[in-house]
Amino acid sequence: MTEEHIFAQYVRILGKGKKGSRSLTQDEAYEAMRLILANAAEPVQLGAFLMLMRVKEESPDELAGFVRAARDSLTLPNPLPRIDLDWSSYAGKRRQLPWFTLSALLLAENGISILMHGIGGRKHDRVYTHAALESLGIPASQSLDEAAMRIRQHGFAFLPLEQFQPKLQSIIDLRDVLGLRSPVHTLARMLNPFQAPCLMQGIFHPGYKEIHQQAALLLNQPHAAVLKGEGGEIERNPDAPCQVLTVHESIAGEELWPAMFEGQRHMKDETMDVHRLAALWHGDIEDEYGLAAVTGTAAIALKLMGRAESIAAAETLARAMWDNRPKDKFGQ
């Protein structure tokens, strides 16, 4: 008699029909992801697991278990750098430039240390963070240790997922084979590898806001903000009101940030020229949408971190930071 494969139980839990299937507990999700990261699941099992999870959508407990396993598999620098804010970037932009990169750099210029992590270009019709930062003269880190060094030196680092969790990157790359996204797209956003007390989350599908918020609570994340960002990135769309779901010391909350333009809808950027990012920072061009996206996004981070007590105060502080930015440099 052939012994059942160790991973089969997790496929069975998810796929045992309408009446027999259920979600994984947090501990089961932890063990399933631990086996996946250890390459202990067969390829056919991995594909079945990912697609069964995709059909039902991951629960907060499952997401928390996946994140715990992925974090435990990391070999972190010792000591960790002082880190204030974790900023994930996994969507890419196709309607507007990734103005949020300037938001993060603006915060870093004002003493807020940030780790940004994400993926490179998978779709040709999008501008990814890696390319945007390269246009600003900021190279991607090649390891967790290098990212830690850059944070200590400059207060900011960008680390591609493939450089610190290559297995998760390889699963994301399966989207072209399977035709659908997988739970790893959600998991990667919550990795927070340097254990920052403040976590920013940008999502595209509105239903995932509550999942991220509840998972942050389960993971005992001190402070978190989840928003439906422009294009799925952590970027406030200044043309529309922005709902932000928060976590502060185990308490879930909600904020509604007003539109920054009244009755106005900016058109899609047809050129998507990343060099406009540096030009706006240096003061060589004017772009009302870009400026509002930069300061509006920075304001959400400032409010999350307790640097401002109200939405209005956060927006005022972000604009003051912008007005006093060093136009000749980004701190790298």
Token pair belonging to 22 = 């259920």
Q: What is the DSSP pairing of strand 85-89 with strand 114-118?
A: parallel
Q: Is 71 a residue whose pLDDT tops 80?
A: yes
Beta bridge partners of 255: 244
CATH number for domain 8-72, candidates 1.20.970.10, 2.130.10.10, 3.30.70.60, 3.10.105.10: 1.20.970.10
Burial of 168 (0-12, 13-18, 19+ CB in 10 A): buried
DSSP 3-state assignment of 124?
A: coil
Per residue in 200-257, pLDDT tens?
A: 999 988 889 999 999 999 999 999 999 999 999 999 999 999 999 999 999 999 999 9
Question: Domain segments of the chain: what residues?
Answer: 8-72, 85-323
Per residue in 139-195, pLDDT tens?
A: 999 999 999 999 999 999 999 999 999 999 999 999 889 888 889 999 999 999 999
Model-level pTM? 0.95
Supply the pLDDT for residue 176: 87
pLDDT band at 330 (very low <50, low <70, confident <90, very high): low
Q: What are the start-end ranges of the H helices in the chain?
A: 8-15, 17-20, 26-37, 43-56, 60-72, 100-109, 129-135, 144-154, 166-172, 175-178, 183-189, 208-218, 275-282, 288-304, 311-323
CA 131 to chain centre: 16
DSSP 3-state assignment of 287?
A: coil
Per residue in 281-319, pLDDT tens?
A: 999 999 999 999 999 999 999 999 999 999 999 999 999
Mean pLDDT of 101-121: 95
Amino acid of residue 21? S
How is domain 85-323 classified at the CATH fold level? Answer: Pyrimidine Nucleoside Phosphorylase; Chain A, domain 2 (3.40.1030)
Question: Is the Cβ–Cβ distance between 132 and 98 less than 8 Å?
Answer: yes
Provide the angle, in degrees to the nearest 10, between the axes of the packed helices 8-15 and 26-37: 130
Mean pLDDT across the chain: 95
The position carrying tokens 């089969």 is 8
Supply the pLDDT for residue 315: 98
CA 84 to chain centre: 15
- Cα angle 125, 91, 107; round to 5: 115
Q: Is 18 a residue whose pLDDT tops 90?
A: no
- Report how far residue 272's alpha carbon sits from residue 98's, in angstroms, rounded to the nearest whole number: 9
Question: Is the Cβ–Cβ distance between 191 and 88 less than 8 Å?
Answer: yes
Where residue 3 falls (left for φ over 0; alpha for ψ -120 to 50; beta otherwise) is beta
Q: Is 265 a residue whose pLDDT tops 90?
A: no
DSSP 3-state assignment of 230?
A: helix
